[in-house]
Structure 1
Amino acid sequence: MDRVNLALSIEKQKSYYARLITHEQWRAHPRLAELYGEEGFVKTEKDTESHLAYLAQALALDSPQMFFDYLDWVKVLFSSLGFSIEGLKENLALIRDYLCVYFLPEGAPYLEQWLTLGIGLLEKPLQAQSSFLDPANPFHSIANQFLNALLQGDRLTAFQLIQDAIAAGASVRDLYLQVFEPCQKEIGCLWHRKQVSIAQEHFCTASIQLLMAQLYPLIARPSCNGRAMVAVCPGNELHEIGLRMVADFFQMEGWHIYYLGQNTPIHAIVEYMDKIDVDLMAISTTLPTHIWDVEQLIHAVRKSKGDDSPKILVGGLPFNTYPDLWQKIGADGFASNAEQAVVVANRLVNSN
């Protein structure tokens, strides 16, 4: 079995595999049921399915590093929660053994190597994580105060900091890149290390989204440069702040924006694309397991639009982490942030 078909097989059957593997792990350790009950079983099954999903996506892209990075992320999360890394290692060993022996023996050359290496990497000590709030950032003080206010649930103080910065001459571009972006990344890291709750993370994210909406009158331009773009997070992708920033930067440059936002079904995007004429499609995703959706959307749009297909620009955490990923899935370009997105887009559309 080739690597891509192996990946598709795992992705298709991941829920089934996860249940059987979780049953085996809990059968071998009856004490788990006593300690954690049914809720614990369901969480273990969900975690196992996640391990399989990331393995499948990494296999499809021929990127073992993507899978190893995911395991490192899980190790940090489990350590923050006080969970045993030994339990994680045992779960991965069961995934390896069940896939190689019972489910997909024809994929053993890949599975044996990747999972064994991954288990070994879990033995390494945790690496210290640096803050995204860089002291060299000229807006570091504002960003630090802004984040602290949000973490304390003080939205009014956070908003006043931004209003004062605007009054002092700060541009919306600066605030997006030097305050909102690093703060949003820092919030994600704090949640990952379980230093803030999901509720706090949602409050901070919602507050930044609201503030961006309030700043919109400073962004909108009355005239258009003749270019148009559609911006979307396809499939189940729920993280849209980065995409919103990109759309606003294009708005400031005079582009007409069709903003579709998060969690948009691929068929709905394609249908909408048939009704509009755009020069560019900007696609954003945060989770590597959603690369399937990005690639499927690219193929679907090009099949539907043919020679009239717009240039396709991708961005988000996976593309920042793996610089050649955009080429693997067939995009026309990649940008690491909103400012760079405008530069790359202009180059792409002007090359026609």
Structure 2
Amino acid sequence: MKGTVFYFIILFSISSYCIAQEKTLGIELTKEHIQVTGTKVSIIKPDDTYDLSAKFLGLSSKSNHPDVIIMDFKIPFDNMQEKFYENSIDEDDKLIIEEDLVMNGYQAKLLKMIRKKLTTLEAFDNPDAEPKKKVVWTLLYGDEKFCVMASSVYLFEEDGKHSKNIEKSLRSIVYNSEQKSNPLDSFPFEMNVENSPLKLAGEPMAYGAGFSLDGKMPTKDENKTSCMVMFMNLPFEKSERESIAIRSVKKPWENHIEVEKVSPVKVGELEGYEVIGYESTDNGKQLKYAFSLFSSTSQYLIYGSTFGDFERNLKIFKDFSSTFKLK
């Protein structure tokens, strides 16, 4: 299933069905393994239709088979696993496989879930749509210094077609701590931060990255000035693109947010809108900035917010957005 983003990868739940096991696996790096750009992970492709994705960290298939998304976090495995269970569980989800592993000396947890819930992208496109039953595979893998999360999602009725190959691929993962990696290398766009006070912050996601003045996410900056760069594999008709761009700043029901200005923008062959708005919050007035670009298949979004020094920080967001370009 295409276009899956990180926002729903860790939205899982435990239910009554489970198979709890513990195994130790020694996995050798073979000629079939490929290194996933932007990570320290190598993996065997589920089948020959897969290759490294040009749009996210992981593998995509030219035959519309489910994506395999891989993210490498500087978070201890135990912490990630705890948050996974505490914060990302729905009562209606069904856990089919829960397997504790040791893979090349690293802790691992393999999970297969069945869930019926709209993904973030589906909800963004049509929040009133009827959710379809899906299968979610996830592998958590790491130690006290890092955790890799690998995941794949597809429709429940396609389980017989994909289950075996996805599981085989996840079980093939090899982590090389010495491998140099830059998560931004895998993104289909570039942002020039050399002359910007914004710094890469936090852990890059499968479909984007965060920036802040102090290089932290969440930022500890006095005005909470931060920026996200994201892209979504969703086609939008030209007639609806302006309203989609505005929704990045103000949803139709958010009466406490005022949209001050909407301006057409163009970068190369991409067209879109710059939206500036202000929100009244308990912490004071907040500037909200969105720079949305659209292709025939995707949306690229630069979203910034700050609670103070609006003129200066708006210029920072505008200057940063002006450096966007596709690779």
Q: TM (normalized to structure 2)?
A: 0.30
Larger radius of gyration: 1
Higher relative contact order (CA 8 A, sep 6+): 2
Q: TM (normalized to structure 1)?
A: 0.29
Going by fraction, where is helix more abundant, 1 or 2?
1
